[in-house]
Each structure stands twice: as C-alpha cells, then as structure tokens.
Structure 1
C-alpha cells in the first residue's frame, strides 16, 4: 500500500516521502499515530503542490543569502575600542559588536551566525566568517582601531 509520510518514521522514510507499507502496518500504526496518509490522487496532488511551494521558498532564501553575501564581502567594518599598551584591548570584540556594526550599514545578520573562531582581543585586521544559509557563507573584514 502506498502512503505519504507526514512525519519521519524510523526504517520507513522521511516526512513527505511516498513509501510502500503493508496495509496492516498502516492501519494499526501509521494512521492511529498520524504519521502518514493514504497516497490517493488528491493527497498526491496536495503533496506536489506543497513541495513546489517549499522549493519556491528555498529558492527565495538562497537568492536572498547570495545577495547578502555580496553585500557583506564588499563591506568592511571598523570598530573603535579602548586599548592599552601594545595594542591589547580591554576585553574583546564579540559577535554582538560585529552584528551592531553591520546593522549600522543596513545589513541584517543574526549574531549566532557569526563564526568567530579566532579571538579578537588586539588591534588590527581580522576576517570573520558569517554563515548565511546552508552552504552559503561570507567573509567580512573587521578592522579594530584604538579610540
């Protein structure tokens, strides 16, 4: 019997897949637990429509991420902070500081997406990676100067 899964089911398939299962398994487990529906013409049409909608949304997200990548890579931000002798900062530059500097340039980025692997705790130039979407990331040049 062909069914459309509405939730992930171990050893059967993932949400949105059309799979074959035995009729008893469907009637006794899948249907009572709302894990799937019968794959008739009407439900298959709804599934195709839903998948097309998801694909359209995915394409829009990718286009927006690529546009943001272009903006970010053509931008460099300068952060002025208090520093002691030999260029050491009082504290360090955080993801929040970088996010706020980008917001001043009208670029919206979630601070959780800023990948700051090296600690920014002295004056100079740094490159910070920002994850925008699944496999799309941008490199931002950050310049730290003394006040």
Structure 2
C-alpha cells in the first residue's frame, strides 16, 4: 500500500526537501518516519511544514556546510584496521561499519556507523573503499587498509597486495635455503679437495722416504 509523505530533507531516489512523494507504507513506517526524514502528508502537516520551511532550510544549509568541511578533511584518507587472517588473506571474521567508524574516530574524525556503507562485505585483506554519507547532499569515499599488522598495512599502502607480499616472502625463504645448500656444498667441496691433496702428497712422501733409505744403504 502506498502513501504520501513530505520530505524533511533530500532523500536519494525520492526527492528534495519539501516535496510530497508517494512511498510504500512499510518504507515510511520503518525508515523515513523514525529517521525523521519525512512526515505524513496530511493537510495539517503540510500547513505546519510551510510555516517552518524557512527555518528547516536554514538548518539544512548549516548542517550541509559542516558536513562539507568534514568531507574535505576525510577526502583521500586511508584508515588502518588490524584483523587476523589466513595466509591466503581471508579474514577470520568481518569488518563492520562500527569498526570503520571507530577507525575514523580514532584519527579524530566524527563519523557515526550509521553514516558508513559498503558496496560489499569485506572478507579479505587489502585496501577497500567505504562510502560515508555525512549529509543527504554530502558524501565522501574513504579507503580502508585491512592488514594483519601495522607493518603489513604500510606495505599495502605502498600498493603491494597480499599475494605479492606472500610471493616475496616465499622467494626470500627459497633464497635462504639455496644459500644454505650452497654453503654446505662449498664446505663439502673443500673437504674433498683437501682429502685429494692429502692422497696426492702421501705417495710422494713415501717415495722420498724409500729413496733416502736406499741412499743411506749405498753410503754404508
């Protein structure tokens, strides 16, 4: 069942403040009216709105200006959220709108979780985006750096993905193993060369001893 309401502020895909629009009754009862975004479009409410219209417009302009200033500060900001995750980057849990608001508040920005919206749930490490609606007419996009540690967050901020970081760690581990084998191989080669030298020197020493003994016998 549809019904008419007066919008007390701009509502996306519905209209501007002061417009009378037709909406589903459930949408009005569950969202527009409790959030004070609209009034029943009765004759009495329409008349009351017209009397308060100038005050409402002035208040809306003031809150819009405050929201615009905050949006300018938030523009380009990246907030770090530390979470446990698998080696493949899958989160053990989720990142909620409250977590995002808390991260912004920790950096000194007044953001309420009800102002935060995500296009899709955050399930993996990496850099993600969230939309902050500070006012019906003011929105700003922020970045969320979801990492397992501050060090990992710093690397992700430089543009490296969890896959690249894992590949670098694997390559470093393989290099260390190869160096270890190289060192072992070099040590074994040294041992073999030393043994060969000893075997080569041994007959010459024996021959010299035999020759010395023969000369001694001849002298006698």
Q: TM-score over 0.5 for the alignment?
A: yes
Which secondary structure does the structure 1 equivalent of 2:61 belong to? helix
2:139 aligned with 1:137, yes or no? yes
Aligned length: 110
Unaligned runs of 5+ in 2: 1-39, 150-220
Residue 53 (structure 1) aligned to one of 52, 55, 71: 55
Which of 54, 68, 71 lines up with 1:69 in the alignment? 71
Tell me whether 1:14 sits opposite 2:46 in the alignment. Answer: yes
- With the length of structure 2 as denominator, give the TM-score of the two structures: 0.46
Q: Which runs of 4+ in 1 moved over 3 A?
A: 15-18
1:1-147 alignment, distance < 5 Å: 8-9=41-42, 14-16=46-48, 47=51, 50-147=52-149
Report what 2:4 is aligned to.
Answer: none
- Secondary structure of 1:89's counterpart equals coil
Q: CA RMSD in A?
A: 2.1
- Residue 13 of structure 1, CA deviation: 7.3
What secondary structure, in the 3-state scheme, does the structure 2 residue paired with 1:128 have?
strand
Choose between structure 1 and 2: higher strand proportion: 1
For the 8 Å contact 1:8–1:15, the answer to whether it is kept is no
Name the SS for the 1:90 alignment partner.
coil
Q: 2:162 aligns to what?
A: none
**Does the CA-based 8 Å contact 1:77-1:102 persist in structure 2?**
yes
SS at match of 2:60: helix
CA displacement at 1:105 relative to structure 2: 1.1
| Separation of aligned partners in 2, 1:134 and 1:16 | 22
Q: Over alpha carbons, which structure has the higher Rg? A: 2
Q: Select the structure that is richer in helix.
A: 2
Using CA pairs below 8 Å that are at least 6 residues apart, which structure has the higher relative contact order? 1
Measure the CA separation in 1 of the matches of 2:49 and 2:123: 49
Q: Is the 8 A contact 1:125 1:141 kept in 2?
A: yes
**What residue ranges of structure 1 are gaps of 5+ in the alignment?**
1-6, 19-46
